[in-house]
Structure 1
Amino acid sequence: MAASGNGFSKADQLDSSSCSPSPPSDCAFSSSQSSCTSNALDPRPYISSPLENGNMKHHLKGDVGVNAINGQMEATKVESQSWVGIYESFLMKNASQIASVESTLQHLTYLFPAKFKDAEIASEVVYSALGILGLYHDTILARALSSCPSSAKYQPSLHARYTRHFTTHSSAYRTIAYVLVVIQKTELLIEIMSRRHAGQRGQRTAILGIEGVKAACRLALLRISGTRTLVTPPIPERDIDPKILDHDDPITLAGAAEEDGDYWLMPRTRQKMPQLKGETDATRFLMKKVLLPDDVAPAPKLIRPLSTVDSRIKEILYILRPVVYALLALLAARLRASKQFKGQYEKIFINWMPWVIGFALEYVCRDGIIDNLSTEGGIRAALTKITGLEKRELEKRSNSMWWWTLRGQFYDSITKPILDKIIKKAENIPLLNLVGLYIADYQYLVETYHFSTSTL
């Protein structure tokens, strides 16, 4: 019993010794130990030692923070781009209604003045916002037109060709020109706000400051353009038919022009020929097929540089004329307030001085283009050499002279009595009395604000 017991215990000891945690004595034990532990999987995850990568925690924390910030910035950028893209795609799908909607909203602002409190501020805010929004729409339409398949048939106007050349080739011209246009669209609003918060003195200061900034911008444009006569406006106008960009109504400019009349189909070539009913239609049709010298001339040559001293002086004085008029109006207001000049002739001189000098400057200096071309052959030869764009600008300057009837002492002495008589006679006539009320509302703007009749 003892032997068997001892033998059993020895066998158990031998069996247990093969897997005992005693230190290894030979290779046989190591192999047996590996055989014992090979089937057991460690449930704990592998964790690297800090000695292997001591800065890993720091790097992980920094990378996660940077990635999170970059992710937020990219998400914000994508979101902003998506909103802009949605608006531009909506604009392109409804391109044919852009001009009509903008025009309708701008004309609705004409119904605001004197109808309710702060109506002039509300109407001018809407008008200025629509003007600036129209500039953004013009850039979208121009960019879409460049990638439009039918853009090859688009023929830009002379003004668009000329201004687009300088806005694309000179970043300084583009920046100054857009700053000038934005000021022109917000100048009346700034004057109204300055009068509301600082009185007439603040209004006159604002007028003089705005006119000074505008004159500085125009002088810079005159320098950048190579001393060429400035055009109005200095940026490209919207001269395209938005229907050309409408996906639902893809009508090209040429196609839209050709579908207006009846056509005769030629039997052999099957070519459409227009049915011309009169001499005017024939002239209009032939002029579309003819290239004029201005159509093939480079954009900078559409307006020649002012080479003579007289023409340059006239152009500079034409640019400075609004500043001179604002300064004289401010001087006349201070002289009237001082009450030092009590004589009738002195009062007449003070009241008429700004209007007479401003009108004379604009009348004399508006035709510097003619002086530049009349060095050889006189004025008749200059009229034959004038380009289409120069003629357009000269006509625009001549037509703007009519605005002097609504300025200064001329308005107070001549125009206002005539308008008052018209309003008084129309106030008892149905429908015409509404026109009289409309004129009376805008008399307040003309009499109160300088920029309501500004043209430059």
Structure 2
Amino acid sequence: MAVSGSDISPKSDESESTTSTSATSESVDASSQSSYIGIAPAPRPDIPSPLEINNKDYSVNRTRCMNGMNNPSPKRAGTSSWLAVYESFLLKNASQIASVESTLQHLTYLFPGKFKDAEIASEVVYSALGILGLYHDTILAHALSSSAFSSKYQPSLHTRYTRHFATRNTSYKSTAYTLVVIQKTQLLIEIMSRKYGGQRGQRTAIVGIESIKAACRLALFRISGSRTVLTPPIPEREIDPNLLDPDDPTEPFANPNDDDLEYWTMPRTGQKLPQLNADSDVTQFLMKKVLLPEDVVAAPKLAHPLTTVDGRIKEILYILRPLLYALLALLASRLRESGRFKGKQSRRIINWMPWIIGFALEYICKDGVIGSLSSEGGIRTALTKLTGLEKLELDKRSKSMWWWVLRGQFYESITKPVLDKLIKKTENIPLLNLVGLYVGDYQYLMETYHFASTY
């Protein structure tokens, strides 16, 4: 049946009047309640309809709502839960981490020569503490980055550089940590290989370990863009664990000398300026207040890439020098055992050959970055272009040259007679005879094991 427009007009008028009336009432209510809108709570989010989600998911969400979202169901006990408990315990007792680790490491120095297989027990404890220390470093670094004091912490150049590659390149991180773990366990592996494989097994283990370390360093050299391989290649612990102790009332990263400063008030502006004591170092104080170019540049620019062939060859030879020294020592031992060279002069040349070649390689190739930068303007220009990180690395390499005093034929011909005389002169002197006793115990390690005098 058709419906005319006159039939629906009264209804529309009535609806319009009703709408206008409701609008008027709503405006009155809005005006009367306008003062409460600003403090009204946020509307409750709508619960999804069962038609929009699966029945299983809805039942799970309903169960969670009934149980309370702030009290989730406990996780199953497993490895992750135990690690979480250990990490929380570690952070709550952060002030004791460094003291406990150092105490246990110093106790390992008392083991050699005191009982049978003492070197094995000493190295097991030392290696385990070294690996555990790496895990502690990662926990402390993560806690520091997520704490409120991370903005006040200024990492060193070494930490900035190694953290950049470790966080952005998984290959660098895995290779670097593999290298560090091998360095912390290499002496233990050598001791065990000698115990169960004799001298032949010991020599094989030495060459194998040095080969793996050289491969890791070459991989780091390539991943970093042909830059100098740092020692160590991972971030080190630079902060005191006491700073992360929540029960410590002192403010972290505060300068303890700031409280002792006397301030002078400027008469016109009223600004206070610190006055240093007579014994204070003005340069050191000012360097803490300014930013250097190395503090703001990108982390990869803290080390120059080795662009010249001379610089790359020097760095590669420096990386391979421990492996070459181990191979030369193995060759010299086999030549001595063969009995072909019975002359005194020939045997002296064979004995000194590994030490001389190894020392010469390390001395010539330790500054490959200087050889790379000197191609543009000489050595003086290269020295001015060195960054602070490269200077620190070259300083470490120069100090590590002292290890050659305890290696090879130099130790047998020069260092050992001096130590023997020192021990003999102090054996009847109280307290000093204990020092001589421990030096004698470590002489056995240096004379027997290759990695006892390496880093």
Q: What is the TM-score of this pair, normalised by structure 2?
A: 0.81
User: What is the percentage of aligned positions where both structures have the same residue?
Assistant: 71
Aligned residue in 2 for 1:285: 285
Give 1:52's aligned residue: none
**Residues 1:127 and 2:132 aligned together:** no
In 1, Cα distance between equivalents of 2:304 and 2:191? 39
Matched residue SS, 2:109: helix
CA contact (8 A) 1:264 1:272 kept: no
The aligned counterpart of 2:84 is 85
Residue 105 (structure 1) aligned with residue 104 (structure 2): yes
1:83 partner letter: W
Report which stretch shifted further, 92-101 or 219-228: 92-101
Cα 1:391–1:430 change in 2 (3 A) is same
Map 1:77-226 onto structure 2 (within 5 A): 77-226=76-225
Say whether residues 1:439 and 2:434 are aligned partners: no
Q: Measure, in 2, the Cα distance between the counterparts of 1:244 and 1:147.
A: 13
Superposed CA offset, 1:283-332 (max 9, x none): 22111001111111110000010000000000000011011100010011
Q: Displacement of 1:448 after TM fit?
A: 0.5
CA displacement 1:388-416 (0-9 Å, x = unmatched):
00000001001100100000000000000
Which SS does the other structure have where 1:351 is aligned? Answer: helix
Residues 196-246 of structure 1: CA deviation (Å, up to 9, x unaligned):
001011000000000001101111111111000100001001112222211
Residue pair 1:318, 1:362 contacting (<8 A) in 2 also: yes
Which of 375-384 and 215-224 deviates more? 375-384
Change (3 A) 1:427 1:154: same
**Counterpart for residue 300 of structure 2:** 300
Aligned-pair CA distance for 1:258: 3.3
Q: What number of residue pairs does the alignment pair up?
A: 381
* Residues 236-251 of structure 1: pairs in structure 2 closer than 5 A: 236-251=235-250
Taking a change above 3 Å as real, the CA distance of residues 113 and 86 of structure 1, as seen in their structure-2 partners, is: same
| Matching of residues 302-451 of structure 1 within 5 Å | 302-451=302-451
1:167–1:174 Cα contact (<8 Å) kept = yes
Contact 1:263–1:273 under 8 Å retained in 2? no
1:144-202 Cα offsets, whole Å, 9 max, x none, are 01110011000000000000000000000000111110000000000000000010110
Which of 254, 260, 263 is 2:261 aligned to?
263
Which structure is larger by alpha-carbon Rg, 1 or 2?
1
**Local SS of the residue matching 2:219:** helix
- Give the direction of change, closer, same or farther, for the CA distance of 1:228–1:378 in structure 2 (3 Å limit): same
Aligned partner of 2:281: which letter?
A: D
1: distance between equivalents of 2:358 and 2:190? 20
Query: Please, which moves more after superposition, 199-208 or 99-108?
Result: 99-108
Of 261-270 and 76-85, deviating more is 261-270
Instruction: Specify whether residues 260 and 436 from structure 1 end up closer, same or farther in structure 2 by C-alpha distance, changes over 3 A only.
Output: farther
Query: Structure 1 residues 341, 75: closer, same or farther in 2, change over 3 A?
Result: farther
Which structure 2 segments of 5+ residues have no match?
1-72
Q: 1:88, 1:95 → 2: CA distance?
A: 10
CA contact (8 A) 2:261 2:277 kept: no
Deviations 1:110-140 (Å, cap 9, x if unpaired)? 0100001111000100000000000000110
Asked if the contact 2:265–2:273 (Cα under 8 Å) also holds between the matched residues in 1, the reply is no
Task: State the one-letter code of the partner of 1:204.
Answer: R
Paired with 1:117 and 1:345, the residues of 2 have a C-alpha distance of 39
Q: Which amino acid aligns with 1:123?
A: S
Alignment RMSD (CA, Å): 1.9
Q: For residues 407 and 272 of structure 1, do their structure 2 counterparts lie closer, same or farther at Cα, with a shift above 3 Å needed?
A: farther
Which letter does structure 1 place at the counterpart of 2:317? L
Q: Distance in 1 between matches of 2:404 and 2:324?
A: 15
Alpha-carbon separation, structure 2, partners of 1:112 and 1:102: 16
User: Could you tell me which amino acid in structure 2 is paired with residue 224 of structure 1?
Assistant: I
Quick one: distance in 1 between partners of 2:78 and 2:272? 50
Distance 1:152 1:104 in 2: 32
- Report which stretch shifted further, 273-282 or 368-377: 273-282
Deviation larger for 243-252 or 101-110:
243-252
Contact 2:263-2:275 within 8 A present in 1 as well = no
Q: Residue 85 of structure 1 aligns to which amino acid in structure 2?
A: A
Shift of 1:281: 2.6
Q: TM-score, normalised by structure 1?
A: 0.80
Distance verdict in 2 for CA 1:211–1:75, change over 3 Å: farther
AA of the residue aligned to 2:216: C
Matches within 5 A, 1:36-115: 77-115=76-114
Query: Which deviates further from its counterpart, 193-202 or 273-282?
Result: 273-282
Kept after mapping to 2: 8 A contact 1:166/1:174: yes
Task: Indicate conservation of the 8 Å contact 1:150/1:252, yes or no.
Answer: no
Give the equivalent residue in structure 2 for 1:37.
none
Residues 243 and 253, structure 2, Cα contact 8 Å, conserved in 1: no
Q: Which amino acid aligns with 2:416?
A: K
Q: Residues 190 and 449 of structure 2 are in contact (CA less than 8 Å); yes or no, is this contact kept in structure 1?
A: yes
* Structure 1: distance between partners of 2:246 and 2:325: 50
Question: Would the alpha carbon gap of residues 329 and 192 (structure 1) be closer, same or farther in structure 2, given more than 3 Å must change?
Answer: same
> C-alpha separation between the residues in 2 aligned to 1:274 and 1:246?
30
Query: Residue 377 of structure 1: CA displacement?
Result: 2.2
Residue 264 of structure 2 contacts residue 275 of structure 2 at CA under 8 Å; is this kept in 1? Answer: no
SS in 2 for 1:441: helix
Cα separation, partners in 2 of 1:423 and 1:270, compared to 1, 3 Å: farther
